Each structure stands twice: as C-alpha cells, then as structure tokens.
Amino acid sequence: MKNPISFLLALLLIVPISCCSKPNLADIVREHVAAVNSDDIEKNSTLFTDDSVFEPDAATKLSGKAQVRNLMEWDVVNNARLSIKDLKVKGNTVIAELTEKNEGWRLLGIDIPFTATYEFRGRHIRTVKLVFSPDSWKTFEDKFEPFAVWAKRAHPEDYQRMNEAGYSAEGARLFLFLAKEWRDNIQTESVEQELIKQENEWADAWVKSDVAFYDRITADDYTWTSPWGWVATKASDLVLLRSGDDVVKSWALADMKVRVYGDAAVVIGRDTIKETYKGKDVSGQHRWTHTWIKLAGRWQCVAAHSSEIAHE
C-alpha cells in the first residue's frame, strides 16, 4: 500500500504547477487560424468566451458568442483562408499580421493585409479587432463601391437582404451570388468593348490595306461567306489585300451588338462600304455576322457571313 502522506505531497506539488502555468496565447491564435482554414466552427467556438466581441471592420461590432459564430459561418461559406505573417504577444494580447483569401474578395479583385488584435481572458479569446491601413481600406472601398452601385440597381431586394443578413451564412451566400454576377457582367462588358473596337479597326485595316493587322485579327482557318455565295479563306483574303485589286475608300460600321459565351462571341452589325474591285464599283450596304474565339489569350475571328441590304 502506498504511503498516503507521500501521495498527498505529490498532489500538493502537482496542483500549484498546473494552476499557475500560463497559456501560450500565440498557440491559441494559431489554433483559431487553423480552425478557420479547416472550416471547423465547433473547434473555433471553443476558443472564445461566451461574451466575446468581434469587430471585423470599423463600422461593425459583433457581441456574444452567437454573433461571433455567425461570422464563422460567413467565413465557411466564403471559403476564408488565413495566413500568419507575424505574431507578437504583449501581456494578455496577441497582435497578428494576417492576410486572407476568400471567394468574395477574389470576385471583387481584392487582396489586402490587415492587423488582428486578440485580447484574452485566461485561455479564451475575449475580443478581436481587425484594423486595415488607410491605403488598404481605400483599396477595399475602390473595389466595393462599383459592385455596390451595380447591385443596388440590378438586384435591389437581394442587396437589401444581404445587408440585413450581415455577417452570417445567408449574408455570405447573397454576397457571393451578387458578386459573381457582377464579375461576369463587367467581364462581358469588357469583351463587348474590346470586340467592337477590333471590328472598327478591322474595317480600317481594309481601307489602309493593313495586311499585318488582318493577319493578326483572323484565325488561320477563318472563312467568309460573301453576299454572292462564294467563300473566301484567310489565305485568299491576304492575297487580295496584297494585290491592290480591291480598293476600299471607306467602311463605316453601325448597329453592332455582341453576345458573349465564355471564350466565344458573336458580333452582328451593319455596314456601308465604298469599294471598287478591279476598277468596278462594288459599294453597298450589308448586314453581317462575325464569330470570334479567344485563342491563346487573344480574340480572333473564325467565321463571317455577309448579306446585302436591298435598296428600295
């Protein structure tokens, strides 16, 4: 049988050591970051006090574990991933230099660092405050404002619901829905502008007999079905341009509309052309359709069809 006095002495030695040991606050912050990155809300919640406060931006203060948990759900839906650049411990506070990648910021084109200050009560996080530098905050505002203007106009009810839901799973889902559509919208607008510009430059290239531009703007397998039923290829058009037989004095485009399908697009339009072919006047007005494909990061026309506009 063990000596009871020796057993009690051992307990007296162990208890003070375990009671007085200080928590490693930096490691707890690392646990929090790991929980965010693994979408482990249950683990993350155990690291916070019941009366915890989280300030994700200067205008928002989330109070109590229920609201903080809502923010964790926002992060999961938004696929938030944190990385630590630096950690400093000062008393019961940890100051962390962090960067975050998430789906919403990716759609808005944002990638900005911030500072997170964690204040502890014992082993649990009592408060978290995120601080962005003035330059970082301006970058965020510059990116978010055009999205907000578009969302208010295009989807006012969803935008209002997003704001009312705030930092929650529902708020994140609405934000990502709107941000994706906005991103697709501005990309489509950008393609439309680019293709209309290239259509005008293409017409100008015929006036100038710019062989190099024509060669660059058309795909190797480009074909054009003429108003008279015969089919021209890229090779035959290049021969024609170099020959000087076809003289285009002016080529004005109008009524252009663009439909974009990912890396493919269709442009329809109307033109008025003053042209001679081997001295014969072939001027006229046409309606046409051009099919464009993005090849190796560059838009090229692969097919064209023209029809004459009948004169009344």
Question: For residue 203, which of 248, 160, 158, 269 has the smallest C-alpha distance?
Answer: 248
Asked if the model's pLDDT at residue 9 lies above 80, the reply is no
CATH code that applies to domain 189-308: 3.10.450.50
Query: Among 82-91, 159-168, 277-286, which is the least confidently predicted range?
Result: 277-286
Coil, helix or strand at residue 168: coil
Question: For residue 300, which of 267, 273, 268, 269 has the smallest C-alpha distance?
Answer: 267
283 token code pair: 């001027």
Work out the average pLDDT over 205-218.
94
CATH topology (fold) of 13-133: Nuclear Transport Factor 2; Chain: A, (3.10.450)
CA angle 255, 257, 260 (to 5 degrees): 170
Q: How far apart are CA 186 and CA 176, in angstroms?
A: 15
179 pLDDT tier (thresholds 50, 70, 90): very high
pLDDT digit string, tens, across residues 74-122: 999 999 999 999 999 999 999 999 999 999 999 999 888 999 999 999 9
10 pLDDT tier (thresholds 50, 70, 90): very low
Ordered by start, the domain boundaries in the chain are 13-133, 189-308
CA 204 from centre of chain: 34
Asked if the model's pLDDT at residue 16 lies above 50, the reply is no
Decide whether 13-133 matches 189-308 in CATH topology. yes
* Residue found under tokens 């014992």: 122
